[in-house]
Amino acid sequence: MSAIEANACYEPLSNDITFPALLLQKPFYDLQQDRAANYGGFGTVVGHEISHAFDNNGAQFDELGNMKNWWTDEDYAEFNKRVKAEIKLFDGVEVGTSKINGKLTVSENIGDQGGLTVAVAANKQEGGDAKALFENYARFWGTNAKPELWELAAALDVHAFPQARVNVQAQCQEEFYQAFNVKEGDGMWLDPDKRVQVW
């Protein structure tokens, strides 16, 4: 990855994370930016990449990068139950004329959920503005593309569409409902029994 690429990655074989320098500027991170906004930007990216160490792929490797089962049977069964729920949460979500394949995108969706969950928890611990966090999380996923690109992404990309990466993950965070006063019947409402928390 080049230093100016808006990306990051986790490598299970060496158990390391790469963050290009581009992520240390707005909207991801800025010293002059509200701390909650930084959690919604760079904080979610850091949490996302760390979560990859424990997603459906990373969970198969130990801390030394060896493919080894380190889970108890009970914990792994519960984890797999939650992975299936995450697949179901995203499967068939529409963006434009395209639908997300929940199975194809599950590891990235787990990463997104882990990143947003830890950022929300850290922000809450500091008494930060949850609204600023969610607004910046949405801001850095802003995307504009033609339907043909969405169709290609739906077939090949292991990442869900940016709109769903924001909206569906926010719907699983109780703090989102409080920050924006979302009530049952509102467009962003998701019934509590359908909300998924892998971690």
- Domains defined for the chain, CATH in brackets: 25-194 (3.40.390.10)
Question: Which range, of 61-65, 161-165, 179-183, averages the lowest pLDDT?
Answer: 61-65
Tens digits of per-residue pLDDT, 92-118?
999 878 899 999 999 999 999 999 999
What average pLDDT score do residues 146-152 get?
85
| pLDDT for residue 6 | 85
**Of the listed 55, 86, 108, 112, which one is catalytic?**
112
Q: How far apart are CA 130 and CA 135, in angstroms?
A: 9
Beta partners for residue 99, in sequence order: 94
| Angle at 18 (CA atoms; ends 14, 23), nearest 5 degrees | 165
pLDDT per residue over 125-144, tens digit each? 999 999 999 999 999 898 88
**Are the C-beta atoms of residues 118 and 54 closer than 8 Å to each other?**
no
Crossing angle for the helix pair 162-171 and 130-140, to the nearest 10 degrees: 160
- Residue 61 CB coordination number (10 Å): 19
Which residue, 199, 198, 6, is CA-closest to 90? 198
pTM score over 0.75: yes
Query: Does pLDDT of 149 surpass 90?
Result: no
**For this structure, is 112 an active site residue?**
yes
**Active-site hit among 16, 49, 55, 129:** 49
**49 is a catalytic site residue:** yes
Give the contacts of 112 (CB within 8 A, at least 6 positions apart). 44, 48, 160, 165, 169
